[in-house]
Homo-oligomer: A and B are copies of this chain.
Amino acid sequence: MANKSCIIRLSRYRNALMRLKALNFVKVFSENLADAARVTAAQVRKDFSLFGISGNRRGGYLVEELLEQINRVLGKDKLQKFIVVGVGNIGRALLNYPGFKKNEIELVAGFDIDASKHNREAEVPIFLLEELNDFVKDNGIKFGIISVPDFAAQQILELMIQTGIRGILNFAPICLKEPEDCVIRNLNFETELENIIYFTNVTEKTEVR
B-binding residues in A (CB < 8 A): 2, 4, 7-8, 10-12, 15-16, 36-38, 73-76, 80, 82, 89-90, 92-94, 96-97, 99-100, 103, 105, 142-143, 166-169, 173-175, 177-178, 181-183, 185, 187-204, 207
Most B CB contacts (10 A, CB to CB) among A178, A191, A197 go to: A197
How far does the Cβ of A145 sit from chain B's closest Cβ, in whole Å? 8
One of B36, B37, B73, B193 near A100 (C-beta < 8 A): B193
Q: A174-B15, A190-B100 are in contact. Are A183 and B166 (CB under 8 A)?
A: no
Across the two chains, which residue of chain B brings its CB closest to A166? B200
One of B7, B190, B203 near A103 (C-beta < 8 A): B190
Q: List 26 A-B contacts (CB under 8 A).
A: A2-B202, A4-B199, A7-B194, A7-B199, A8-B195, A11-B188, A15-B174, A15-B188, A38-B177, A38-B178, A74-B197, A75-B194, A75-B201, A80-B193, A89-B94, A92-B93, A93-B93, A99-B190, A103-B190, A143-B193, A143-B196, A167-B196, A167-B199, A183-B203, A185-B192, A185-B196
Q: Is B183 within 8 A of A99, CB to CB?
A: no
One of B99, B175, B183, B201 near A189 (C-beta < 8 A): B99
How far does the Cβ of A94 sit from chain B's closest Cβ, in whole Å? 7
Q: Cα distance A173–B202 when bound, in Å?
A: 26
Most B CB contacts (10 A, CB to CB) among A167, A168, A181, A204 go to: A167
Q: Cα distance A113–B16 when bound, in Å?
A: 26
Q: Is B167 within 8 A of A200, CB to CB?
A: yes
Q: Is B142 within 8 A of A200, CB to CB?
A: yes
Q: A93-B90, A99-B173 are in contact. Are A7 and B198 (CB under 8 A)?
A: yes
Q: A7-B194, A36-B175, A103-B190 are in contact. Are A200 and B12 (CB under 8 A)?
A: no
- A201 contacts which chain B residues (CB < 8 A)? 75
Across the two chains, which residue of chain B brings its CB closest to A38? B175
- A12 contacts which chain B residues (CB < 8 A)? 175, 191
Q: Is B169 within 8 A of A192, CB to CB?
A: yes
